[in-house]
């Protein structure tokens, strides 16, 4: 019996995603596991004041956010289908999904709901203050995941 049957893979648009995908796919093939690729979209940050009396700025922001999500979704669909095609060519069963929100939280929630045995994600290699300011999805997932976690290390920033 294989150790992993369901592997959740965090895919973003960083250069590290190719390596994360490659390693997860190789592991899935060896284990006979199914892959679930997950991409998280974040809403745009607004520099507008939402405190106006009639919420006109909030309406404008929501329209902009919806337009951005619509544009991102079509690009994401095409991009993720490329990963699916590559995995299927290697004989790996694969599916994909996307979520809106903070990546760490979404990864843990999907892993729990889907019953993942393993989460594979990348780490950009930020250290010190830069990691504190930018946050760390891998650190969040390591401490909150309902299953094992494999972190593919990035190169430390110079």
The alpha carbon of residue 143 and the mean position of all alpha carbons in its chain are separated, in whole angstroms, by: 16
Nearest CA to 25 among 82, 112, 84, 108?
A: 84
Q: How far is CA 50 from CA 47, 55, 64, 89, in A?
A: 9, 6, 14, 49
> Containing H/E element for 46?
none
**Which has the higher per-residue pLDDT, 76 or 92?**
92
Q: What is the mean pLDDT of the segment spanning 88-93?
A: 96
Residue 138 phi/psi, 5° resolution? -65, -40
pLDDT at residue 73 tops 70: yes
Give the pLDDT confidence of 8-67 residue by residue, as tens digits: 999 988 888 999 999 999 999 999 999 999 999 876 555 555 555 555 677 777 777 777
**Which has the higher per-residue pLDDT, 116 or 64?**
116
Highest mean pLDDT among 44-58, 79-93, 124-138: 79-93
Sheet with 118-123, side-by-side order of all strands = 94-100, 34-41, 6-10, 118-123, 148-153
- Token pair recorded at residue 115: 């019953």
pLDDT at residue 157 tops 80: no
pLDDT at residue 132 tops 50: no
Cβ–Cβ < 8 Å for 86, 94: no
Q: What is the mean pLDDT of the segment spanning 73-95?
A: 92
Confidence at residue 107, expressed as pLDDT on a 0 to 100 scale: 97
**The CATH number of the domain covering residues in 6-43+76-153:** 3.40.50.620
The mean pLDDT value of the chain amounts to 83
Q: What predicted TM-score, i.e. pTM, was given to this entire model?
A: 0.80
The alpha carbon of residue 90 and the mean position of all alpha carbons in its chain are separated, in whole angstroms, by: 22
Task: For the chain, give every domain's residue range.
Answer: 6-43+76-153
Rounded to whole angstroms, the Cα distance separating 146 from 105 reads 11
Q: What is the mean pLDDT of the segment spanning 99-110?
A: 93
């Amino acid at each position: 019996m294989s150790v992993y049957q369901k592997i959740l893979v965090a895919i973003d648009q960083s250069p590290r995603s190719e390596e994360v995908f490659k390693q997860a796919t190789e592991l899935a093939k060896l284990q006979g596991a199914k892959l679930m690729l997950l991409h998280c979209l974040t809403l745009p940050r607004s520099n507008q004041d939402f405190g106006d009396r009639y919420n006109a700025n909030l309406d404008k922001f929501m329209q902009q956010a919806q337009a951005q999500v619509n544009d991102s979704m079509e690009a994401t669909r095409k991009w993720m289908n490329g990963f699916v095609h590559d995995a299927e060519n290697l004989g790996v069963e694969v599916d994909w999904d996307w979520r809106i929100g903070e990546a760490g939280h979404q990864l843990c929630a999907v892993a729990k709901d889907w019953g993942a045995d393993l989460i594979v994600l990348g780490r950009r290699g930020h250290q010190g203050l830069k990691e504190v300011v930018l946050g760390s999805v891998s650190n969040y997932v390591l401490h909150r995941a309902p299953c094992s976690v494999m972190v593919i290390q990035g190169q430390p920033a110079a």
